[in-house]
Amino acid sequence: MATNKDPAAKIASKGLDIAYGQRRIVGGLDLVIPAQRFTALIGPNGSGKSTILRTFAALMKPSHGSILLDGRDLRGLSTRDVARKVGVLLQGAVAPEGLTVGDLVRQGRYPHRSLFSRWSAEDQTAVDEALMLTGTADLADRALDSLSGGQRQRAWIAMTLAQQGEAILLDEPTTYLDLEHQVELMNLITMLVEKHRKTVVAVLHDINQAARYAEHIVVLKDGRITAAGKPEAVITAETIADVFKVKTVVIRDPVAGTPLCIPL
């Protein structure tokens, strides 16, 4: 594995068209999500980032084309099969009133349980591990609506971890968080990818955040890929000007050495 420079694809789409009714959002998308890497999807509003994420999680059906998850066609998998492989954190997730963090994370075991199966030791281990990894073990008995935005976000990520899928899809996980909690969350993602071999795909709004933390960046415009690859290769003044219509200077981040773009 260590010498594998071109890791296998976790999720791949071929000729993917996605539409809301008659309006086509994504057209002819050939996208590869490398396994055990942190991939960021960036692009202006309406570029189809969230739609792609939802389609990868089988929450939307593509109008054309196919999606391969671990090399298997998504259409051949049941929602339960998909839920065992892929966890999703959507924007504006709302839990029922009064629910505790523990209750929330336990829901992550749903795809692993049958109607009559009891709560198993395996379920408990998965939940404990998810709470520990996200640093939410102390909050397990707290009501979700009593937590700060950052804590709540980590609790939701814990739920997706309890699913024990290898891939986690996050839709703008850092939006509305203050800087401290943004950094905390990005470090959590990095840790999950590096130490626990998760494949993480996140839609991010902050280009510099994507450049700093992600290993693979996909830049989208009008439902098509403009550029994809390592941050150094993708984040250039030309690409940013083309996609975001903003003139920038790209310099080296003095701390991490990654590209840092500064609007003119």
Partner 1 sequence: MSRILAALTILLALLVAASLALGDVSLTWRDIYHATTGTGDADPQSVMIVFDLRLPRVLLALLVGVALATAGTITLAIMRNPLAEPGVLGINSGAAAAAMAVIVLIQDPPVALLQAAGFLGAAAMALAVYALAWRGSTSSLRIILIGIGLSSLATAGTTFLSAFGDIGSVQRAMIWLAGSVYDANMVKVRLLALWLIIPVMLAFLASRELDLICFGDNYARSLGQPVDRVRGMMIVLVTVLSGAAVAVSGLIGFVGLVAPHVARRLVGASHARIFPVAALIGACLVVAADLIGRIVLPPLQLPAGIVTGLVGAPFFAYLLWGRRHGHE
Q: Interface residues with partner 1 (CB under 8 A)?
A: 54, 57-59, 78-84, 86-88, 90, 93-99, 103, 107-108, 110-111, 113, 115-116, 163
Nearer to partner 1, 119 or 176 (CB): 119
Nearer to partner 1, 99 or 237 (CB): 99
Residues 101, 136: contact at Cβ < 8 Å? yes
Query: For 170, phi and psi rounded to 5 degrees?
Result: -125, 125
Burial bucket for residue 232 (CB in 10 Å: 0-12, 13-18, 19+): middle
Q: Could you tell me the smallest distance in angstroms from the CB atom of residue 132 to partner 1?
A: 21
Nearer to partner 1, 71 or 96 (CB): 96
Residues 243, 44: contact at Cβ < 8 Å? yes
Nearer to partner 1, 148 or 187 (CB): 148
User: Using CA atoms, how far apart are residues 60 and 240, in angstroms rounded to an integer?
Assistant: 29
Q: Could you tell me the smallest distance in angstroms from the CB atom of residue 231 to partner 1?
A: 28
Q: Could you tell me the smallest distance in angstroms from the CB atom of residue 137 to partner 1?
A: 20
Q: Could you tell me the smallest distance in angstroms from the CB atom of residue 96 to partner 1?
A: 4
Nearer to partner 1, 163 or 239 (CB): 163
Residues 55, 62: contact at Cβ < 8 Å? yes
Q: Could you tell me the smallest distance in angstroms from the CB atom of residue 107 to partner 1?
A: 6
Nearer to partner 1, 30 or 145 (CB): 145
Tokens representing 184? 């905390």
Q: How many CB atoms lie within 10 A of CB 118?
A: 6
Q: Could you tell me the smallest distance in angstroms from the CB atom of residue 64 to partner 1?
A: 17
Q: Could you tell me the smallest distance in angstroms from the CB atom of residue 171 to partner 1?
A: 10
Residues 66, 75: contact at Cβ < 8 Å? yes
Nearer to partner 1, 70 or 103 (CB): 103
User: Using CA atoms, how far apart are residues 188 and 53, in angstroms rounded to an integer?
Assistant: 20
